[in-house]
Amino acid sequence: MDTQRMDTYQTGEQKAPDYGYDYQQYDRIWQRVLPELNTFPEERGEDGQLPGTPLPDNGDLGDLPGAQENPCCMGTAAQQSIGVIVGFTENEIALCRFYRCLIPHAPTQRAAAVLRRMLQNTQDNVRRLRAVYYLITAACFRADRQIPMPLIQDYCVTLRGAYHEETCTSLNYFRAAVGAPDPCLRALFERLGRAHQENAETMVNLLGAVIC
């Protein structure tokens, strides 16, 4: 695990160095990873502070953003969740294989289109989790185990199993969100939990269209 770089500061009359952070560039990156989270607002004041951020009356800067050793998202705190992220990523990859194998078994073109959309959404989840893994570790994700191919049975039986899989995955994301020490990671887990909740509802609709 790479050691996080600690920001340094200068004392006396010396001026703090300007690292030239491009907040708009960071914001665009985060819009791809987690669109609803505005980690770096595009507009900042001339002093670099966020609009409307008050200074403490006692002059203590310890509570301001940037004063902590690691104030940003996906830093040291998020490293505690790396094992969880790896497990979720492998699970999403397995779901991608499942949907890819299930699509040819769809009884109608409409059902196949729904499954293709679910496949695309799950692929997006994999890309998002891989991006988060890189943000935290500065390393590319590599699966620790070989992910088995799914077993496709009778269409209704398979949908029933998929419903329970999606429901359990959703609950696991919500549980992980409760325990996540990093706020951005917590928001991501909650978002993915809601996505799998919607997938479970879609399975109910697909099953309702073909069940006796």
For the stretch 104-151, pLDDT in tens is: 999 999 999 999 999 999 999 999 999 999 999 989 998 777 777 778
Looking at residue 108, its pLDDT comes to: 94
pLDDT exceeding 70 applies to what percent of the chain?
A: 66
- Which residues constitute the domain of residue 184? 77-208
Q: State the average pLDDT over residues 30-55.
A: 45
The answer to whether residue 132 sits within a structural domain is yes
- Cβ-based neighbour number of residue 109 at 10 Å: 8
Range among 34-38, 39-43, 106-110 with highest mean pLDDT value? 106-110
Q: CA of 51: how far to CAs of 46, 48, 100, 202, in Å?
A: 10, 9, 47, 42
Residue 48 has pLDDT above 70, yes or no: no
**Residues sharing a CB contact under 8 Å with residue 210, sequence separation 6 or more, in sequence order:** 107, 111, 155, 156, 159
Mean pLDDT of 84-104: 94
Q: How many CA atoms lie within 13 A of 162 on its CB side?
A: 34
Write down the pLDDT at residue 212: 64
Q: Is residue 48 part of a domain?
A: no
CA distance 165 to 196: 9
The verdict on residue 191 lying in a domain is: yes
Query: Which carries the bigger pLDDT value, residue 17 or residue 173?
Result: 173
Q: Which amino acid makes up residue 174?
A: F
Residue 203 counted as domain residue: yes
Structure confidence at residue 1 (pLDDT):
46
pLDDT reported for residue 8: 36
- Report whether pLDDT(7) > 60: no
Most confident among 36-40, 47-51, 146-150 (mean pLDDT): 146-150
* CATH value at residue 116: 1.20.1260.10
The verdict on residue 29 lying in a domain is no
Which tokens in the block code for residue 182?
Answer: 């990093």
- 91 within domain boundaries: yes
Q: 24 pLDDT band (50/70/90 cuts)?
A: low
Question: Is 148 or 45 the better-scoring residue by pLDDT?
Answer: 148
Closest to 81 in 3D by CA, of 208, 194, 211, 184:
184
Per the structure, how many domains does the chain have? 1
- Residue 28 is predicted with a pLDDT of 54
Q: How far, in Å, CA of 102 to CA of 88, rounded?
A: 21
Task: Give the model's pLDDT for residue 166.
Answer: 95
pLDDT at 152: 86
What local confidence, expressed as pLDDT, does residue 209 receive? Answer: 92
Asked if residue 94 is part of any domain, the answer here is: yes
Judged by average pLDDT, the poorest of 20-24, 73-77, 101-105 is 20-24
